[in-house]
Each structure stands twice: as structure tokens, then as C-alpha cells.
Structure 1
């Protein structure tokens, strides 16, 4: 597995943070992030999320929001989504014949009861979101290592 895409709604909180955390762990794997909406195309990650991540030593200021497209199925080996709505929206764009896996990120944290990464844009819990994303990034790192 060499190319992973992280997807959330607006691509300004969860998915860029997930991308930044994972690329810090696995710099040899190409990563990107996208949103299912077009709300923030071209915008940097949300200021409070950037600040919370930077407090942990993770800089994501170089990232810019973009919208998910059907072409991402061909461009990536794995698409990782933050919640069920993101999964639904991504799957709605799946081209016929595409076999690219789409999986929820939160279960990779190891807490079976947690299925979704809550959106801190609404919950305002940036640190709690980052805790879950860090644990899920570690789980994804193990998953990638096992699949190679």
C-alpha cells in the first residue's frame, strides 16, 4: 500500500489532521486528504485544529482543502473516511469496476465501539479528536505493515 487518502466533510479538521499525523508516522507512504463537500476548497486547515495539532508537534499548515472526486478511486490504494456519511458520499462516486477499499478510520484505534471520528468543527473538542486520530493512525500503520 503506497497511497492513502483521508476523507471528511470539509477537509479542514479531521482529514487533514489524520493525514498529517499519519505522514509523520509513515513518511514513505504518499498521503492526501479531501472533503466530500466543496465548502472550503483551497482553504488551509481550520485554525483551532492547526493550533491543537501544532501543540503536539504536528504541522499541517501546508495542506489545502480539496473536494473528493471519482478519480481518487484510481489514484489511491486505500480511502479512509471519518464517518458513515463520508463513506456514503464517497461510495456514491465509485466508478463501475473500482475495487479500491473504503474504510472507517475510528475502528483502527482499537475501540470497537467507536465507529466515527466526531467533527471538532461542531464539538469543539480538538484534543479529543486528535487523541482518536493518533490512535487510529497507529492502527493504520500496523494495518499497512501487515498488508505489505
Structure 2
């Protein structure tokens, strides 16, 4: 079995590419790259084709986490068919994904918020460092959430 994971934020340059890079790093560290694929997208089209934000690149580079080849792309309804887990970085992204996909998005639990992975935190949404500038805070959330997601995916795949 294989699982396809997609992280979604607004512009696909800060939060979702950070989550993509961190989760891919964890998948590779666990030797599960043949079982789990990872991507990211944005609900908006402003940054399509651009690399991750400089703040994301600096943080990932400092931590030795690769973001090589990553370019922003826009989420499309076809992604709902391709991906098994569509992890939205905030409530607004989740609402936009469900609007783009239509009624099918209400079925099952494939579309969910990233912070649903960390219910004990009491935080509903991952803040956008494009506006806050706090990439470290976002990384801490992303790191913890990606660990929880990897455990969930491994359990679902019975790995």
C-alpha cells in the first residue's frame, strides 16, 4: 500500500512547503519513501512557480532539511482524487479546499486541519509566518504535527 500526503496553505511558500520538507525528511529518515509520497499546494495562485519563502528556506537550510526542487503550485479539485491525506494549515485553507473540491470533500476524513494532529495544543490554526515573521514558531508546530502524522499514516498502512 501507498499513501499520498498533501499539505495546503494560502500561497504555498511558507507553511505548506515547510511541512512538505519536514514530513519528507521524516519519511526518508524512517526509510518509508517507497510507501509515502509528499507534496504541497496553495489555495491561491499568487506565487505559482516560486521557491519557498526566504524565511522557510533559511530555517530548513540551517536544520539540514532539503527543499530542493520545491516550487509553489495551486491546489486543484483533481488533487482530491490523487491524495489520501489533504492537510490544511488553517481553517480558511480547509474551507477553500472543500469549496474547490465540492460535495465530495465532505466524505470521509481525508481533508483536515494540521492542528487536528495536535489536539492537546489547544491551537486551531498554524499561524502564517508570511504575516507574523515567526518561522521558528511555525517550525515547532510543523515538527510535532509531522511526527503525529507519520505515526497516523504508518498505522493506517500497517507499517
User: How far apart are residue 143 of structure 1 and its match?
Assistant: 0.8
Partner of 2:145: 136
Partner of 1:14: 15
Gapped regions of structure 2 (runs ≥ 5): none
* Secondary structure of 2:131 counterpart: helix
| Higher deviation after alignment, 32-41 or 96-105 | 96-105
Q: Could you say which structure has the higher helix fraction?
A: 2
Aligned residue pairs, count? 148
User: How far apart are residue 97 of structure 1 and its match?
Assistant: 4.0
CA contact (8 A) 2:7 2:19 kept: yes
Query: Structure 1 runs of 4+ off > 2 angstroms?
Result: 95-100, 109-112
Rounded Cα–Cα distance in structure 1 between residues aligned with 2:59 and 2:114: 20
Q: 2:83 aligns with which of 55, 73, 76?
A: 76
CA contact (8 A) 2:25 2:66 kept: no
Q: Which whole-Å deviations, capped at 9, do the CAs of 1:99-137 have from their partners, x for residues lacking one?
A: 461011123135340111100011100111111100000
Partner of 1:26: 27
Rounded Cα–Cα distance in structure 1 between residues aligned with 2:103 and 2:123: 31
TM-score by length of 1: 0.93
Rounded Cα–Cα distance in structure 1 between residues aligned with 2:22 and 2:119: 17
Gapped regions of structure 1 (runs ≥ 5): none
| Higher deviation after alignment, 25-34 or 134-143 | 25-34
For residues 100-119 of structure 1, the aligned pairs below 5 Å read 101-119=110-128
* Root-mean-square deviation (Å): 1.5
TM-score by length of 2: 0.87
